[in-house]
Amino acid sequence: METFWKNAAGGFSGAPQPDAAAQIARALGRATDTEVYADSVAAEGGGVLALARRGLEKFILLAYSQELLGDLRVSFVFQGEPRRKTLPFGKVRLLESPADSANAAALRAALPHTAPQQIARRPSIGLGDRLGLATPGHVRAVAGTGYVPMLAQQSIREMTRTGRSPQDVMDDATWGVFQTGFRTGFGADADHLKSTDDIDRCAAAGFTFYTVDPGDHVAGEADQADAGTLAEAFEALPWGALETTAGDAVARYAGKDVALQSGTVLALDLTTVHRAAVKYGRAVAHTAALYRHLVEKMGKRKFELEVSVDETVAPTSIAEHYYVAAELARLGVEWVSLAPRFVGRFEKGVDYIGDLAELERTFVDHLAVAGQFGDYKISLHSGSDKFSVYAMAARHGGHRVHVKTAGTSYLEALRVTAAREPALFREILAFARERYETDKATYHVSADLAKVPAPDDLADDALPQVLDAFDSRQALHVTYGSVLTAAGGERFRSRLLTALKTHEEAYAEALEKHIRRHLAPFLDSA
């Protein structure tokens, strides 16, 4: 401990050995009457930083030698009034500073590992956190796997429904990374962005990964249109925005055979080209416009782009995927992953519904298209709990597959609540049953409310099992926004957060187990 302290005061940056970290955490805890997270202890700028907890409140501790006050590079970057203390390793000044947004920004500057980074070239998994408390469990799930997590991942829709901002999402991930001492890197995914305003808000918060969702511009009705209707709609596409002409588009694709690495040959006849362009042409133009806005907005800051067309009714054919990728490349868009609309149903919170053999055949071809255009990743959106799919996806795609999860971590929070705070969970379940028919309108789900049990029909020890049943699991999943914003957050949100903070270790353990189950097939195939 003394050696680490001397090295820290001398300018060393990094984490101590576990024994020294535990000793320093105990000493700081005794001096401040707090619980200090030993994993958070780090040296930077001539001082020692740690995250502490008093009751349910968390804050930063900064300890530094009184003699080195003039040389301390991080002094008073954090807000607070320093106190003089005598600790086992010497006389120090000790600053206690709140875990607020200003200090989160200061922490990201002081400890670069608490800030997001680019992740596309590494194995990755998306781990959305609708409550802002899941990062410690997510970190434990990925630790030692070689996978880099998207810890700050949330869509604007989710933020709106949970009453959070992009900055809230970023800051919560920062505090969780600091608490756990996680130093192998994480990403920040501004998910399902539809407008320049969405981009601007997330760029201001420091996101590094941007998922553009042009789904509102996908013409799914093209799948059923006849050749004449398609030809007419093709001529009416916004060719100016696409920076080409109808004639040039036909010449570029029609009549071509494209051989994929999978062995599939795409026969791009005129009708196939018309259908792909009519269905996705406007989405391509919208994606290119958002990408160019993002380039301008980010300036010299680096970022990564994902394109997502998964939230549409009609599946993306292999020829359509090829058209989208070819057009994006022609327009100068650079992207690192793409989420097609797969065959079957990737519904929220439950396993895959559909023909697994057909999914596998098309999945291999989607990967092959990605191989034609730089080998970008194929992203599985609504990817949580698709346990019947992972082994197949891992076998064919491995590290080229990015599984994106979010709501499943909220469901694990409810599982912990059901086990530890049954009265609160009963209220949430009853409310979800009331809200489901309304809230399901914006989702592709098939849960039957008649199969969701009433809370009064269940004994306390049966409550966690509700999270294992298809219909109740999905009903609880899609009603999260109503639950978290009921009565301005006072009815459930504040009580749920208090419960999870009280049972912090139980929530982390539940997430570690659950997310590891998602990763296991990919680790086994490596």
Alpha carbon distances (Å) from 259 to 265, 268, 271, 342, 486:
4, 11, 19, 21, 54
Question: How many whole angstroms separate alpha carbon 493 and alpha carbon 489?
Answer: 5
Question: How many whole angstroms separate alpha carbon 83 and alpha carbon 369?
Answer: 61
| Sequence-separated (6 or more) residues with CB below 8 Å from residue 214 | 194, 282, 283, 284, 286, 287, 290, 307, 309
Residue of 415, 437, 434 lying closest to 496 (CA atoms): 415
Taking the CA atoms of residue 505, residue 511, residue 513 and residue 518 in that order, the dihedral angle to the nearest 10 degrees is -170
* Phi and psi based region of residue 277 (left: phi greater than 0; alpha: psi -120 to 50; beta: remaining): alpha
The reply to whether 306 belongs to the active site is: yes
Parallel, antiparallel or unpaired: strands 83-87 and 57-65: unpaired
Q: Is 480 exposed, middle or buried (0-12, 13-18, 19+ CB in 10 A)?
A: buried
Question: How many whole angstroms separate alpha carbon 125 and alpha carbon 115?
Answer: 17
93-102 residues labelled b (16+ CB within 10 A) or e (exposed): bbbbbebeee
Set 129, 172, 189, 191: catalytic member = 191
Set 306, 310, 439, 512: catalytic member = 306
Report helix angle 166-180 to 196-205, nearest 10.
Answer: 30
Which residues are designated catalytic? 191, 306
